[in-house]
Structure 1
């Protein structure tokens, strides 16, 4: 079985190394040896250390490599939308199996890849696109195919989880925790894709597509990052027996007309310390799946890095190679349900709202009236002097309010009206609360 490898960076280099180190075992598992037919790179002469590969295999012509008759499987670890989409469509339509780690492409235009795979009768595998080495996507599309999944909640970005874990452990602010993450190599020089939630949103779209048999794209995902999370938010969460995580949440629901829908969102949220995801620290990933028959399942492990991602890539390579030798093909995309994606305003959630208010009689009654007008029920209220200083007439006080479950649109409208009240000096923070009663 001959492979065309597109990309030889951190992940691609690890794929080459593992192919070399495990050649005998991989051949035994597949029933035929795996050989690299060629490696497409931007610069052939780049120093790649002691990579165990013949330099003659490198090429700057990926399409030429893909079109070669002796290539059976195409492995793509370049990333991005184009030209990766064109390369993979070419391979799939030609009947060549594809293994990719390209979450951005799958989330933006996975439909084109699946259609090309169906047209060419080829396999399309992408376990490495979400949560690195954690075996997650194949259980969703194969092991749980006989069940009904109702909800998927996950921590799928290691950079943001490291930052929030550091803030929780040390009391540092976002900027300080991001600086530490960058120094340790957990954050890129430009961390926007991670801290603004783009990376997690792409993964959420892939998870929702598999869990609910519906084509979901990154554009369908409500996305918020962690840049506005403060040390005060983290402290407030601790006071409630909670911690803050950047969550991807995909859930079934019913719209106003009684039709089944799905909602998919990524945002920071408080979760109780008793929740299984609360203890996931450092740069680890975890995904919590709730199914009707199987119940609650949790998948945990390293979600990024060259070796873990390469492990997932090679797992897919073994699967598609065995299929190819047997003259078989894996099950095609399952998008029969074709459920509509519910807007964020209809998602049911809870809010934690911190208000700086005037410290005078009647303030709490006025604030409660705003919640009542939007039919939002208050679960708890905590009141104290703003900033921990002395209270007194004319000074400011802090109100911390946690709501019961309500539509996000009603909660957002409540916050907007609160901002306009004369007695509200500022809405210091707004965070969603998940995983509690």
Structure 2
């Protein structure tokens, strides 16, 4: 590759078209690579996909990097090892290779696997041939041979030289851009919400059409995402219904019905978005500073309790309270005071969580976003003149509950000592029981 084609001499791997298109989906200068102990015949260990950080590009289409993630079952590679790898043009995933494989690869055409579309081998062709044809005379090689795919175990044809045949498989569409997926989701969400909004602004100005619009927007937006279909959603709902209503056997039936998607069915951008959401909600946090969150809870409880006590006393003296009585509430003043104290405590804890650490902050932000969605529909009700104090009270209670759940989830995550693995699981028929 000529220097003029390398946009960044410090990061030459970005000159590779597939890497340049896919690298934004992963942490900086890292890429998913299929690690293995060799081909399906010399090794029974299941290949593992792990992040590898680019270090150099010694030749065109050949990369060198260091394994970033822990490796579970493989013997030939571990975390921190430097490996060589190439990029599979069909799966867009990196594949660890040996020097011998790189030397032999130009002399062979490796057809795509019949099962998973994988277009590389996990061992040099010469090694596979010696095991498939143990009686083959030295120095000779068949014009072609069939081997088992190292990923799924299906048949894979390997031929010497260039195989000039027309592929029977339809060409795969390029992954959709983030902008395309986002605009499609927004359009489908608007279409899903349209019936409820039309009813609300025309013939039925009540809460029910707002709920219908919200559910329609969620369903429409979700069904527009790549890898999601009405069939899968219906199967999932049926499986959950069976699991909840048939003791013992229901869970087993549901497990059989709900299968993880095949890797080819998952759009890389959807996978990236899911992993980014998981990483956003679960950041590394060595010092969660729980005491700040609990201090906020305590101060909020004291302030809320003080306000409630003041209002109860003021109302007893026939004066007006600051907060009490709550609009539309039929509870006693004491019960309302307890509710106010709890609400102030949760708000204080939320403020403390925002200050404390990322472990709390991001959960609190999600809780506030959920509350903001509820506020949007409250605004629509107010706009139509159908909202009263009762609606406002219900919204306040719901928002406090959302924030309380977010704080509790943040506390559990901040103090849970568990290993984190955010790689998505895919269906793999070749997986063996440990």
Same fold, TM-score > 0.5, yes or no: no
Structure number with larger C-alpha Rg: 2
Query: Could you state the TM-score of these two structures normalised by the residue count of structure 2?
Result: 0.23
Query: Could you state the TM-score of these two structures normalised by the residue count of structure 1?
Result: 0.23
Q: Which has the higher contact order (CA 8 A, sep 6+)?
A: 1
